Amino acid sequence: MKRAVISASGVSHSFDTGPTPVTVLRDIDVEVYAGELLMLVGPSGSGKTTLLHILGRLLSPSSGVVMLYGKNTQALGEEELAALRLKYFGFIFQAYNLFPVLTATENVMVMLDLLGVSRQIARERARELLKSVGLGQRLDSFPSQLSSGQRQRVAIARALAGDPKILMADEPTAALDAESGLRAIELLQMLAHQQERAVVIVTHDPRILQFGDRVIHLEDGQIAERLATPRGPSPLHAMGAL
Amino acid sequence: MSLGKEIGLATRQFGGRSGVAWMRPSLTLLIAWRNLVHDRVRFAVTIVGIAFSTILVGIQLGMLLNFLHTTSTVVDHAGADLWVAAHGVPSVDLATPIDGRRRFQSLAVEGVAVAEPYLLHFGFWKRADGIRQIVILIGVEPGAEMGLPLTLPAGQSFREALSSPDGIIIDRLYAEKLGVTGLNQLVEINDRRARVVGFTDGIRTFTQSPYVFTSLRNARSLLGRTDNLITYVLIRLAPGQDPATVIERLSARMPDVDVMTSREFAANSQKYWLLTTGAGISIICSSLLALFVGVVIVAQTLYASTMDRLPEYAVIRAMGGPRWYLYKIVIEQAVIGGLIGSVVGIGAVAVLVYLGRNMSSPPLFPAWLAVGIGAVTVLMCVGASLVSISKITSIDPVKVFR
């Protein structure tokens, strides 16, 4: 039986934005496993991004428990949660959020710097990672000199720099054209299937749903549907069909 | 192992919060530098602002230093151990007379080796063109060991110069102001004749009334005084004597006068002009204002830069970066800006001071002041970064997903 990397049970969350708290998640139970690509989908306001924040330990739920490798994370303070994210998680953001003043290599080095890796080793590792995502020719380019797809790949390389067990991606294909989007998903699928990482993706993009191992459909803060899909064709095959 | 302990280990392993990690050379310096120079116009404005603040502070403090130096220069250079003065004298230039017999009363006190009279009084100098200038006449005995100008040019003897009955010595700095073109020029002081028999070099006066050195007898003559009054008794202690003990003895013998060490008298003179007149306070306020202007400029620039980078800083927090990592970037930005700005500013002050070296009251700018201003400027920049740091403290990593 597979062991859950993240296990959330009875998770509810409300935001105090006015006189009445707004409840965005109600009594959610989710488990995330190593080696799988889990997709969180749903309409805007359904709570999928909030759930990603809670699973990624960026946000603590109003109630419920989030376990990481079977251990409760509820009692941890802000700095301990930051150290936890540094050790276990890699994040890929919709807007990439790369440092505009740093080159592609230096942006990846930031993650390694946080981990305390020496500058020289960090530079070598960053270059290797960028080459592995197909950016060997753009190592010293600044984000403004890169296309959206290339920036997304820098962001993926940065997320992978700490060799995280869990990858969290928020709308990773939203700003990409069809081909770049499928390439990004292919890379994330490979990271899950071949490197036994847990990959959680929040997406609106119907083109990529078929590549998830499991899909959780959220509506009004509750799980409306859970779909387990057999491992279908890789995005590269899909690309061939474009 | 509990998750907390495991994370604690991870924190140490990955350099999360330990002091050693904080000190480790990291990418923060590169980020700080690039953040600063990314917007070149803003960078230039920052450096000019910091340099401008440094120049203002440097010139103001240089003037203050000159101010302090000149208010006590007569005391500092007199070579006396103790000064006997009228009770309540606030400053060396503002004395009331004492009886000339105080000299002999002082000599009778155990521990006093030499006691000499010193007369200091304002007088009116009349130039050849009829313009009058106020001068400070200083009279000492020609054979005096104390109270002599120390910067008499080589080859000139103060004693010889003042042995002529109407001889006076002025400083070259004020020769033009006093209408003096050369030696042996006859001048008028208090409508009496005097002859310029020597020049000193670099004896500046705080009041802008030049010092005129002459013999005690000539000073009395120029002031039209026939009494035995003097202004101070300058005392040199016998070897091995404790100044405090001798002061006690002198005070017991002459309870109606003040007895002070040279250091105390110099400090009193400086304090008087600094605090009881508006001049010193004004200079101090100007310096503080200049510092404040610098703080505002740096704070504004750093804040704008921090706000520009907030999404990236939130990313670092989301990735698991500790807060100190972000603080370090902002503080290093402040330190870099402070260092560059202060070097430019200090360089400019040094040039200005050099160009103004022949002014009657040139600002003084010794190396320790330059280093001190540089350090204060950098600290000021770090202080200005606190506004940005407070913004970072409340940064929400979730923001990057919105």
Distance between alpha carbon B207 and the CA centroid of its chain, in Å?
16
* B227-261 tens-digit pLDDT: 788 999 999 999 999 999 999 999 999 999 999 99
What number is the ipTM of this complex? 0.85
CB-based contact A83 B17, cutoff 8 Å? yes
B63 and B200 housed in the same domain:
no
Identify whether B1 is part of a domain. Answer: no
Q: Which helix (H) or strand (E) holds A41?
A: strand A37-41
> Taking CB atoms and an 8 Å cutoff, what residues of chain A touch B31?
99, 101-102, 110
pLDDT of residue B276: 80
B160 and B285 housed in the same domain:
no
Cα B96 to Cα B91, B211, B231, B402: the distances in Å are 10, 17, 6, 79
Segments in A89-215 forming alpha helices (H):
104-114, 119-132, 148-160, 178-193
Task: Read off the DSSP letter of residue A18.
Answer: S
Question: Is residue B1 less than 8 Å (CB to CB) from chain A?
Answer: no
Q: Judge whether A100 and B340 are in contact, CB under 8 Å.
A: no
Identify whether B9 is part of a domain. Answer: no
Q: Which helix (H) or strand (E) holds A166?
A: strand A166-170
Identify whether B273 is part of a domain. Answer: no
Give the tokens for residue B34: 């690039």
CB-based contact B398 A58, cutoff 8 Å? yes
Amino acid (one-letter) located at A148: S
Size of interface A-B (CB pairs under 8 A): 127
B97 and B246 housed in the same domain:
yes
User: Shortest Cα distance from B299 to chain A (angstroms)?
Assistant: 21
Q: Which of A80, A114, A122 sits opposite B321 (nearest CB)?
A: A114
Q: Which residue of B has its CA nearest to A108?
A: B27
> Taking CB atoms and an 8 Å cutoff, what residues of chain B touch A98?
312
B95 and B204 housed in the same domain:
yes
Identify whether B79 is part of a domain. Answer: no
> Taking CB atoms and an 8 Å cutoff, what residues of chain A touch B323?
79, 82
* Rama region for A131: left / alpha / beta (φ>0; ψ in -120 to 50; rest): alpha
- Split into its structural domains, chain B has a count of 2
Exposure class string for A102-129: b at 16+ Cβ within 10 A, else e = bbbbbbbbbbbbbbbbeeeebbebbbeb
B229 and B314 housed in the same domain:
no
B250 and B122 housed in the same domain:
yes
CB-based contact A116 B25, cutoff 8 Å? no
Q: Which residue of A has its CA nearest to B5?
A: A80
CB-based contact B312 A93, cutoff 8 Å? no
Residue B152 CA to residue B163 CA, distance in Å, equals 15
CB-based contact A79 B323, cutoff 8 Å? yes
The strand pairing partners of B122, in sequence order, are B136
Identify whether B232 is part of a domain. Answer: yes
> Taking CB atoms and an 8 Å cutoff, what residues of chain B touch A85?
318-320
pLDDT of residue B1: 46
Residue B226 CA to residue B210 CA, distance in Å, equals 24
Give the tokens for residue B102: 């105080």
> Taking CB atoms and an 8 Å cutoff, what residues of chain B touch A90?
319
Identify whether B291 is part of a domain. Answer: yes
Residue indicated by tokens 């292919």: A186
B340 and B245 housed in the same domain:
no
Q: Which residues of chain B have pLDDT under 50?
A: 1-20
CB-based contact A85 B320, cutoff 8 Å? yes
Angle between helices B386-393 and B278-319 (to 10 degrees): 30
Amino acid (one-letter) located at A139: L
Residue B258 CA to residue B233 CA, distance in Å, equals 11
B241 and B377 housed in the same domain:
no
Amino acid (one-letter) located at B209: S
What is the DSSP code string of B143-173? T-SSS--TTPPTT--HHHHTTSTTEEEEEGG
- Domain edge (last residue) among B223, B255, B287: B255
Residue B315 CA to residue B12 CA, distance in Å, equals 21
CB-based contact A116 B31, cutoff 8 Å? no
B306 and B231 housed in the same domain:
no
Q: Could you give the dihedral angle defined by the CA atoms of residues B159, B164, B166 and B172, in that order, rounded to the nearest 10 degrees?
A: -50
Q: Which residues of chain A have pLDDT under 70?
A: 1, 230-242
Q: Which of B3, B312, B322 sits opposite A99 (nearest CB)?
A: B312
Beta-carbon contacts of residue B332 (< 8 Å; ≥ 6 apart): B28, B29, B32, B33
Cα B280 to Cα B206, B284, B294: the distances in Å are 12, 6, 21
Q: Judge whether B113 and B238 are in contact, CB under 8 Å.
A: yes
B104 and B243 housed in the same domain:
yes
pLDDT of residue B401: 60
Q: Cα-flanking dihedrals φ and ψ of residue A21, to 5°? A: -60, 140
The helix, strand and coil proportions of chain B, stated in percent and rounded to the nearest 5, come to: 55, 15, 30
Q: Which residue of A has its CA nearest to B305?
A: A101
B93 and B62 housed in the same domain:
no
Other CB atoms within 10 A of residue A145 CB: 12
Exposure class string for B142-170: b at 16+ Cβ within 10 A, else e = bebebbbbeebeeeeebeebbebebbbbb
All domains of chain A, ordered by start, with CATH? 4-95+163-241 (3.40.50.300)
The helix, strand and coil proportions of chain A, stated in percent and rounded to the nearest 5, come to: 35, 25, 35
The burial class, CB within 10 Å (0-12 / 13-18 / 19+), for B256 is exposed
Identify whether B249 is part of a domain. Answer: yes
Distance between alpha carbon B298 and the CA centroid of its chain, in Å?
26
Cα B366 to Cα B66, B260, B346, B353: the distances in Å are 11, 28, 11, 10
B295 and B174 housed in the same domain:
no
User: Shortest Cα distance from A228 to chain B (angstroms)?
Assistant: 26
Cα A123 to Cα A129, A230, B14, B39, B294: the distances in Å are 10, 39, 17, 26, 38
Identify whether B342 is part of a domain. Answer: yes
CB-based contact A102 B30, cutoff 8 Å? yes
pLDDT of residue B279: 73
Domain that holds residue B291: 22-69+279-401
